[in-house]
Amino acid sequence: MSTEGTTREIGVGLISVGWMGRLHTRAYKAVSEHYPELGLRARLVIAADTFEASARQAAEVLGYQSWTLDYNDVLTHPDVDVVSICAPNFLHKEMALAAAKAGKPFWIEKPMGRGAVESGEIARAAQDAGIVTGVGFNYRHAPAVQHARSLIRGGRLGRVTNLRCWLLADYSADPSGARTWRFEKDRAGTGVLGDLASHGFDLAQFLAGEITDVTALTQTIIAERPKPAGGAASHFSQGAGGELKPVENEDYVGVLARFASGAVGTFESSRVAVGPRAEYVIEVYGTEGSVRWNFQRLNELEVCLGLGGENHGYTTVMADPSHGEFARFQPGAGTAMGFDDLKTIEARLFLESVVSGKQLAPSAADGWSAACVADAAKESAADGSWHKIGAISGITTFGA
């Protein structure tokens, strides 16, 4: 980590140069523009990928100083201060434990591990190493969500009674979609539980507090998929009529949950919904009002406060500079922020966590907590019973 005048450079190492790796890179670059008072600038040091073309692109297009085919070169590089882990789920534990052993703070995508056991190992390794972490729960950073949290935590909704959350997507709705690692238990762990529902569990806890018990059911709707053509690794890839192989994890999950506050919640998530593209919605109801947020209109929050009155009902509140980090990106309501901006906020929280030593970004403990909810839902779907959420340790930020 070097200092140049009043600007502090932080050396970045990237593991896996896919879509998310490129997004992390753009986010790091954007921090100095949107948060100049931090005096931080990311220096892109080295990127690793098992595909040489992708690794080369990191240097030739993204701006990294060097590239490698071995992620260990990222962890041992003396100029790397922080690491982004954007590899597939089945590599997360190995890479995160290696990063913790090397003393490198890491920003990792969710699901952090293939279930609560691996997620716990990752979180405890970071705790033992004394490093801060970041986990990709980016939806909580939307200014409209921040405004919802302010209303809820400020008591404007009264006592929270119930919550509804659904994350419905169609990215795997086509039966010809390739059977990549995401559909294998050994490499992905769960299916839509880890991929989408974990975002819902984190959002719910961020807004309404800790989930304590769940009961659930799951369904695999498309039982077989064709093997991917060539080296295709994305769940958006089409199989081009290859040999059919069984899908080993769930396409759909429905969950009923209890919260520590006494509130209850329902969750629904599907990766094969026909119609919704990315309909990620959370609604929180209280004795004196309610709020609704939909990712597909991420700059809006529907708000109803108070009972009765001539115009009782929802008001659409446009995110503006008074909400969350909106002013860092846009001058006024009506000019939209986007998905990449949420990642820039996440990058800022991670880098500020690193330089301050205080956990500000969604933490590995947050990732572990969401994984415990997902595991309890999976276990409930298998036996039909209510399951308590496993205990975790470490610093969580959803209640901060």
CA 233 to chain centre: 20
Mean pLDDT, range 307-316, rounded to an integer: 88
Residue 242, pLDDT score: 81
Residue 253, pLDDT score: 98
User: Does 331 have pLDDT greater than 80?
Assistant: yes
Mean pLDDT, range 394-399, rounded to an integer: 94
Beta bridge partners of 390: none
Residue 233, pLDDT score: 53
How is the beta sheet containing 387-388 ordered, strand by strand? 315-318, 300-305, 289-294, 278-286, 160-169, 264-270, 252-259, 211-219, 387-388
Please state, rounded to an integer, the average pLDDT across all residues of the chain: 95
Residue 237, pLDDT score: 59
Question: Are the CB atoms for 45 and 77 separated by under 8 Å?
Answer: yes
Write out pLDDT tens, residues 1-40.
665 558 899 999 999 999 999 999 999 999 999 999 999 9
Domains of the chain: 2-138 (3.40.50.720), 141-337+364-388 (3.30.360.10)
Percent above pLDDT 70 for the chain? 96
Mean pLDDT, range 115-142, rounded to an integer: 98
Beta bridge partners of 163: 265, 284
Residue 195, pLDDT score: 96
Question: Are the CB atoms for 107 and 101 separated by under 8 Å?
Answer: no
3-state secondary structure at position 211: strand
User: Does 228 have pLDDT greater than 60?
Assistant: yes
User: Does 309 have pLDDT greater than 90?
Assistant: no
